[in-house]
């Protein structure tokens, strides 16, 4: 492919319906989707079952390669972190997380299979400004388009030769606040889910938010069927406000109220992420409050070790304190996991991408 990507539209920005409006006859849209998301085509030239004239026209108007890989880091545990450059030179990160998953053959014998989760970014930087977060330090640049979000997964699948039909989970837990870019994020959810595209069911997609209550409500009304993860991190407004200034606009109560109306899949729970910071929020009294706060909500808590990075005053909690915190909750019937540190050895600019493997009951 030639030409300046900046002057061209990103074809991955289009849903299949939009594409079939633009390109007639409409079965062409299916073919193009197949080339992009199944065969991982990087040029229109490759799309040999399209008329030559159509391929040329497409190439004049669209780019298929809106992202450039500028760095890949491999972790000992098999996770891979990608740094992608956008057409305007900004960069975003995405991570491929691998889990060894136990699966069984029909005869009962165990076969092991890798399970893939891709953690993606939704914005360049973030406006929310959490005190512990590296992304926040760089300020906010811009929203990603749906196509730029979708492309992170396509690039990673292609680079790792992950077959188009292999099951992949998506977590919107990279850089940015997804609900601050709701229109493009919702569009990307639909593009991911298209059966003729990547076919990643919406219940395999998880949106993580710092708690923009009004947007949680709006997302709920869209009935997309996505999972929700709330970055709670503190159980009282005073501390939460210090850690997450957004709490001034959307306090804990407003989040809980928004959640009560959120459509949660019968087999699922709302995930509460609780970043544990030594001597800040790791006290057992916090666990106690958390328990009463989540009373009546189909919740699951994910305790995350704070990942220290250069220049932060926050510290990683001890394993003992994490266990005590977890046991307090599980003994009282709350689902609670401690996140193992996937890809911890990957030195990275973005502190938060590393411990985000989720174990959804799917
Ligand atoms: N903006 C959204 C999604 C991206 S952040 C949100 O905040 O939910 C994804 C997760 O990474 C959040 O739970 C965030 O609190 C966590 N995180 C941020 N900095 C971290 C760090 N230094 N160590 C571990 N997790 C971190
Ligand atoms: Fe933004 Fe999430 Fe980082 Fe907070 S933790 S600054 S919401 S990316």
| pLDDT tens-place string over residues 37-59 | 999 999 999 999 999 999 999 99
Contact 232, 303 (CB under 8 A): no
**pLDDT (0 to 100) of residue 166:** 92
Ligand 2 pocket, 126 CB below 6 A?
Answer: yes
- For residues 117 and 229, give the distance between their C-alpha atoms in angstroms, rounded to a whole number: 15
**pLDDT (0 to 100) of residue 14:** 98
Q: Are strands 110-119 and 123-125 parallel, antiparallel or unpaired?
A: unpaired
The pTM score is 0.92
**pLDDT (0 to 100) of residue 138:** 82
Task: Report, in angstroms and rounded to the nearest whole number, the Rg of the chain calculated over CA atoms.
Answer: 21
Q: What digits encode the pLDDT tens for the residues 111-170?
A: 656 789 999 999 999 999 999 998 888 899 999 999 999 999 999 999 999 999 898 999
**pLDDT (0 to 100) of residue 356:** 38
Nearest CA to ligand 1 atom 1: 177
- For residues 138 and 134, give the distance between their C-alpha atoms in angstroms, rounded to a whole number: 7
Contact 266, 242 (CB under 8 A): no
Ligand 2 pocket, 135 CB below 6 A?
Answer: yes
The mean pLDDT of 197-225, rounded to a whole number, is 96
**pLDDT (0 to 100) of residue 55:** 97
Polymer length of the chain:
362
Ligand 2 pocket, 304 CB below 6 A?
Answer: no
**pLDDT (0 to 100) of residue 129:** 93
**pLDDT (0 to 100) of residue 110:** 59
**pLDDT (0 to 100) of residue 32:** 98
Which has the minimum average pLDDT: 137-141, 177-181, 197-201?
137-141
Closest atom of ligand 1 to CA, residue 233? 15
Q: What digits encode the pLDDT tens for the residues 254-301?
A: 999 999 889 988 778 999 999 999 999 999 999 999 999 999 899 999
**pLDDT (0 to 100) of residue 351:** 39
Confidence of residue 325 (pLDDT cuts 50, 70, 90): very high
Nearest CA to ligand 1 atom 4: 173
- For residues 130 and 247, give the distance between their C-alpha atoms in angstroms, rounded to a whole number: 10
**Percent of the chain with pLDDT strictly greater than 70:** 89
As a whole number, the mean pLDDT across the chain is: 89
Confidence of residue 337 (pLDDT cuts 50, 70, 90): very high
The answer, yes or no, to whether residue 176 has pLDDT greater than 50, is yes
- Pocket, ligand 1, Cβ cutoff 6 A: 126, 132-133, 173, 177, 208-210, 231, 273, 275, 304, 306-307, 351-352, 355
Active site residues: 93, 350
The mean pLDDT of 219-246, rounded to a whole number, is 97
- For residues 144 and 88, give the distance between their C-alpha atoms in angstroms, rounded to a whole number: 11
Residue with tokens 């996937």, as numbered in its chain: 342
**pLDDT (0 to 100) of residue 26:** 87
Ligand 2 pocket, 307 CB below 6 A?
Answer: no
Confidence of residue 99 (pLDDT cuts 50, 70, 90): confident
The mean pLDDT of 228-248, rounded to a whole number, is 97
Ligand 2 pocket, 133 CB below 6 A?
Answer: yes
**pLDDT (0 to 100) of residue 100:** 67
């Amino acid at each position: 492919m030639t030409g300046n990507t900046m002057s061209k539209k990103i074809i991955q920005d289009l849903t299949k319906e939009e594409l079939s409006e633009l390109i007639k006859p409409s079965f062409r849209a299916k073919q193009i989707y197949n080339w992009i998301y199944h065969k991982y085509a990087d040029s229109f030239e490759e799309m040999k079952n399209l008329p030559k004239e159509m391929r040329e026209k497409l190439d004049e108007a669209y780019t298929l390669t809106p992202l450039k890989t500028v760095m890949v880091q491999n972790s000992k545990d098999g996770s891979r972190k990608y740094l992608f450059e956008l057409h305007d030179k900004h960069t975003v990160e995405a991570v491929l997380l691998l889990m060894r998953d136990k699966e069984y053959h029909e005869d009962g014998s165990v076969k092991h299979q890798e399970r893939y989760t891709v953690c993606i970014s939704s914005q360049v930087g973030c406006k929310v400004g959490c005190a512990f977060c590296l992304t926040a330090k760089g300020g906010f640049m811009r929203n990603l388009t749906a196509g730029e979000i979708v492309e992170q997964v396509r690039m990673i699948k292609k680079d790792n030769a992950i077959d188009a039909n292999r099951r992949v989970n998506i977590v919107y837990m990279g850089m940015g606040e997804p609900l601050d870019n709701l229109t493009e994020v919702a569009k990307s959810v639909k593009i991911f889910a298209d059966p003729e595209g990547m076919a990643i069911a919406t219940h395999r997609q998880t949106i993580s938010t710092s708690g923009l209550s009004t947007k949680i409500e709006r997302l709920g009304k869209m009935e997309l069927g996505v999972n929700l993860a709330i970055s709670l991190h503190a159980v009282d407004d005073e501390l939460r406000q210090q850690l997450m200034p957004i709490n001034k606009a959307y306090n804990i109560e407003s989040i809980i109220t928004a959640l009560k109306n959120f459509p949660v899949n019968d087999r699922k729970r709302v995930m509460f992420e609780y970043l544990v910071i030594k001597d800040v929020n790791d006290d057992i009294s916090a666990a106690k409050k958390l328990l009463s706060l989540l009373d009546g909500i189909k919740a699951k808590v994910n305790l995350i070790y704070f990942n220290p990075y250069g220049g932060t005053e926050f510290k990683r909690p001890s394993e003992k304190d994490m266990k005590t915190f977890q046991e307090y909750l599980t003994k009282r019937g709350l689902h609670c996991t401690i996140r193992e540190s996937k890809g911890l050895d990957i030195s990275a600019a973005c502190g938060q991408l590393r411990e985000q493997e989720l174990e959804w009951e799917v």
